[in-house]
Structure 1
């Protein structure tokens, strides 16, 4: 596409009728709330293992390695779920895909609850992993494609808020159940069973929400897309958006095909997928999910008693929710690149401080558990405020419509594989080199993440998905932030 055509898209975006207010805005927020129940399940099913693992280890006779297998089986399956979910959503639609995921969430939860031993537990966790991974690709894309560009960051970012709400809910449920019925056999089964409730709500709720209008346009079902947009926009705005989306779709469909061939044939598409992979893997190599999965174990190693660690573990969950809510505001007022660079700088500092604290305050020092808890809370707060929402929003924005599900699936596959290997080896790593070595390692990785974001991450805030798509397929996306920086300095 020529520079003139790109300028025309910018002018069309500027000429769009204002969003306005009314029942359609409430409808949009209601649809987003239902869809993000997938994020809530994502959070609960990944967070519940944090408190369920200790009693489960005794009942099922888990070793340090099989403990890692139970945790990481969900994560490895999530990697493949991300790939399958992305492809399925491109072919079958976003809405139907999320409905299928709700069924998998329910089946997986019930399988884990009734698991008589290690094998069935891993099988149930694999089913949950497929659902979690697919949800991590389909739900953000669905939200981004529904959202008007003016509020896309905050709307798409709500999924990450629901993920941490789900994790906090898991921590709270674990603390309540663990402290009330902790002496009873099979208490972990009750913790796992709670996940069935939001799965049922998601399944019923998705029956009442519309399909993604951008996906409908990609299928040449423009009248249906206009009908959908008319329920969540003013009529005038809906027609203008359909015209704009259709225009870029018609221009790009010969350039970007919905298959692997577009990755093979376009160096710009290959590059943006590599950027997406880098963003996803860097986010996981902060070690955030090691804290979410093994927070109780880390706090016990820091010096807390078992029940005290279970309660103290709620603190990172609370700060995660507060940070994610703050991140929704940042998504509307701060550039994505700036947010990510600040986030990686803060988390890297926290990693080194945790490592230093574990050296300066040896085991037995009464200050050790509290100092490490405070630093862990600061780390989680920095991560959720500046990194998690921005990463997921950016991943939902940067890929062309024709391969959006496939491309985000590839990126999130790599994200989940990094997550899975950390989940598998984190207990062994802490056992071998302790908190000190583990967090120093995360700190070194953080330095490389800062350099990657600074040199490779594109800027997307304040632009329509169609403008971003045009710049991706021409390569202009990689110089857009440099042009903006240069203009701001003049």
Structure 2
């Protein structure tokens, strides 16, 4: 049995919503439809009943139907899910921070050449691109939750190999295994968070992914600084630094049983009952309408979601979301910020900080300035919008990178160099850092989301790897000033792309965005439009929307 009540969707239309009882019968078998999730590398065909969820829950629904929460905040289960997903992201951030701290003593003890140093740092991101391809396929086939488990085991194995490495080749093997975990996590964590987050909190909750990465980076910097000050023998310091990275993935694996599967993934796999149960567990009081809305999105999406071969051979005909995901993944990393993260100690030494302790302390300030702006952006993104923050971030990144090149050109004081390194990281963290993967995941339809985020992460990590792999050689060839002038110029080239291609996605459900990308609804999302005013009205009534 079900009870119906009149409500309005975000477009102001009347919508019939239904609430299902806990002991509803199983849905009857209906006509089936194939839902291909791509071919080649991403091929997967699952039989999905065309109207199973909608008919089972007796819900007359449109793609703009939303679900309200019983409270205005996050319930315990959703909070726990966000924390565990954040711990997964913090693991890969810790690797970035601790390698920046450990690379100089590690290079001295293992007698690494400049080329070996570049490969040790940059190889992880190239492998992460392959890990992203593995992660997307695994997430589509096995689920979001098992994919997080795969991340944990890869991080543990890679950390042990690096910490115990007797020579360069074992260290490189550890970097490769860890890189696979990084690539997988870059796909599954943003997808998982976007698929469970309420609409009016999706921006801030998805920012948790990048905030956690930066928290992990800062943690790595701080641990490196403290280990450097400790009485641990010098030959063991870098091993202790790397070895402590095992704690976060162990924590994730231990608590993984507490995570539910993504409700959108469950509907995609023809499990509406389980999806309904997860939504209620996460605090939804209108789970039936959300399940039907997700099914509507699947019914209306193209039956031929592009796979790897499609993308290589037919780029011009990719979906709007797929094109944007690939572009955002590339432009986020091509401006050189990864080099600052990995080689900040080298740049500080080049600027005149001779003491390892001073350089590691400088790293800590850089990490703090990368994290703090994201905490601010996280609180305002759903009010201000994604587009203004990302455009401002791109512009300020160009300016601060150019000033950093100027500082090296005129041999400004090391203190000014530290401040400008902090400014570069702060500029990145105001928008490009936290919201690139958020906007990419929002603009992709449900059946193409894992594949799209896989390719976005693959492009992103490949670009990042190229930056890290060439940073030492470019710095030696061009000097600090030439290095940063080069990346400032690339940053200015990126501005027209962001201005012309970046949409606003605030205030719209994932199903609404999918419908807009298909041209089915003519709604412009912006922080001042009617969409957000209706969200604000619901929040005043003590509700939140999914």
What is the TM-score when the length of structure 2 is the normalising length? Answer: 0.82
The Cα of 1:269 is off from its aligned counterpart by 3.3
Aligned partners of 1:256 and 1:402 also within 8 Å:
no
Distance in 2 between the 1:400 and 1:164 partners?
A: 28
Please tell me whether residue 302 in structure 1 is matched to residue 347 in structure 2: no
CA contact 2:351–2:413 (8 Å) conserved in 1: yes
Is 1:121 aligned to residue 171 of structure 2? yes
Higher-strand-fraction structure: 2
Distance 1:243 1:266, change over 3 A: farther
Alpha carbons 2:143, 2:261 under 8 Å: kept:
yes
Match of 1:372 in 2: 417
Worse-matched range after superposition: 9-18 or 396-405: 9-18
More displaced 10-residue stretch of structure 1: 259-268 or 139-148: 259-268
- 1:257 aligns with one of 284, 287, 305: 305
Q: Is 2:204 the counterpart of 1:154?
A: yes
8 Å CA contact retained: 2:306, 2:318: no
C-alpha displacement of 1:7? 6.4
- SS for the counterpart of 2:305 is coil
CA distance in 2, matches of 1:77, 1:261: 20
1:358 equivalent in structure 2: 408
Q: Does 1:419 align with 2:468?
A: no
Which has the greater radius of gyration?
2
Does residue 141 of structure 1 match 2:191?
Answer: yes
How much does 1:23 deviate? Answer: 9.0
Shift of 1:101: 1.0
Rate the CA distance shift 1:300–1:9 in 2: closer, same or farther, 3 A: farther
2:295 aligned partner: 246
The answer to whether the 8 Å contact 1:226/1:238 transfers is yes
Gapped runs of 5+ residues in structure 2?
A: 1-8, 16-61, 532-546
Aligned to 1:469: 514
**Partner residue, 1:451:** 496
Residue from 253, 273, 277 that aligns with 1:203: 253
The 2-side partners of 1:408 and 1:399 are apart by 8
Candidates 291, 301, 305, aligned match of 2:340 = 291
Q: 8 Å contact 2:64–2:509 — kept in the other structure? A: no
2:10–2:64 Cα contact (<8 Å) kept: no
* Structure 2 match to 1:384: 429
**Corresponding position of 1:104:** 154
Partner of 1:54: 104
Structure 1 residues 169 and 266, CA gap change in structure 2 (3 angstroms): closer
For the residues of structure 2 that align with 1:83 and 1:475, how far apart are their CA atoms? 31
**Shift of residue 330 of structure 1?**
2.6
- Partner SS for 2:369: helix
Answering whether residue 228 of structure 2 is matched by residue 178 of structure 1, we say yes
Distance (Å, rounded) in 1 between the aligned partners of 2:221 and 2:131: 25
Pairs aligned (count):
475
| Alignment match, 1:430 | 475
Q: Is the 8 A contact 1:358 1:368 kept in 2?
A: no
1:4-15 mapped onto 2 (5 Å cutoff): none
2:213 paired with 1:163: yes
- What is the match of residue 234 of structure 1? 284
Q: Given the superposition, is the C-alpha separation of residues 176 and 475 from structure 1 closer, same or farther in structure 2, using an over 3 Å criterion? A: farther
Cα shift readout 1:232-260 (whole Å, capped 9, x = no counterpart):
1233x2222112111221222x5443745
* Counterpart in the other structure of 2:124: 74
Question: Superposition pairs for residues 313-352 of structure 1, below 5 Å?
Answer: 313-352=363-402
SS at 1:293 equivalent: helix
Conserved 8 A contact 1:256-1:403: no
The 2-side partners of 1:82 and 1:415 are apart by 10
Structure 1 residues 258 and 429, CA, compared in 2 at 3 Å: closer, same or farther? closer
Describe the shift of the 1:225–1:15 C-alpha distance in structure 2 as closer, same or farther (beyond 3 A).
Answer: closer
